[in-house]
Amino acid sequence: MSVRVACCQVALAVGEAGRNREEVLEAAERAAREGAGIVVLPELSNSGYVFHDLGEAVRLGEPLDGPTVGGWMDLSRRSGAVVVGGLCEDRGGRISNTAVLVDPSGEVTVYRKAHLWGEETLFFEPGDEEPPVVETDFGRVGVVICYDLEFPEWVRLAALAGCDILCAPTNWPLYPRPAGERPMEVVGVQANAATNRIFIAACDRTGPERGVRWVEGSVIADPDGWPLAGPREGEGIISASCDLEAARDKRIGERNDVFADRRPELYAGILERTRAGRRENR
């Protein structure tokens, strides 16, 4: 079954929660009107990203039963679309970089970013739950956030759990790269998609914020790793028709299968070396 997947690349502004909420919801509504069954929104789409300090992050936090998730739930119910978006979540004074998946039944699946980037460690508590994979009317949808994509083990967990499409709200700060080269963040999405033979929809943002510019790297990649849509500059929506059942075929040629060919018995040393490294760094 094919489904149209859309990523809404919106200009956000730190501290302007009402405006952010309105702009993001308007873009999501447009994507749904244009036929998207899965709509992906940026990371921290209610608050913006570049906080001055912890106090500002706390003030901009919002509970899961607040207006941001409430607006997405209403849209999902009315349109029949699955919505995946990020927000600064207030958990009673504790702050998380959170993504939610909302389906038309009103079910809300929550994921809190496990791998915090840069100054995020000053504001957010890291999550410690694996990426959720949710059965929807369109297929099995997984959720991670931004820097999580840099950890192949984390993406593989979602793929092994049966994920057909991995949705990733992101805020990718722009860093220099050689002329003519694609953003490495986009290359990483393509590599993860091909390695696991899944679709990945990463939704970036735009709009300069306190001196920070963004990659504007929203991209939808297929199980061969090729971009079906994106990246694009500025505000706008990218979308692509995705046959999610294709992600359930892990074969690459007559003799190879990216899951069946795994040899986990050879990989046990990775865990032991990781534990040893942590002990040495204490």
- Give the H/E segment covering residue 89: strand 82-90
| 43 tagged catalytic | yes
* Residue reference for tokens 């979540």: 89
CA-to-CA distance for 240 and 222, rounded, in angstroms?
10
Asked whether the beta carbons of 247 and 258 are under 8 A apart, the reply is: no
Q: Answer yes or no: 250 catalytic.
A: no
Of 7, 8, 146, 203, which one is the catalytic site residue? 146
Q: Considering 113, 163, 167, 203, which one is annotated as catalytic?
A: 113
Contact 49, 17 (CB under 8 A): no
* Whole-number Å distance between alpha carbons of 111 and 17: 21
DSSP secondary structure string, 59-83? Answer: HH-B-TTSHHHHHHHHHHHHH--EE
Cross-strand partners of 90: 95
> In DSSP terms, which residues pair with 212 in a beta bridge?
209
Q: Is 146 a catalytic residue?
A: yes
Could you say which of 23, 29, 43, 209 is catalytic? 43
* Nearest-angstrom CA–CA distance, 239 and 237: 7
Per-residue buried b or exposed e for 94-121, using 16+ beta carbons within 10 Å of the residue's own CB: ebbbbbbbbbbeeebbbbbbbbbbeebe
The residues annotated as belonging to the active site are: 43, 113, 146
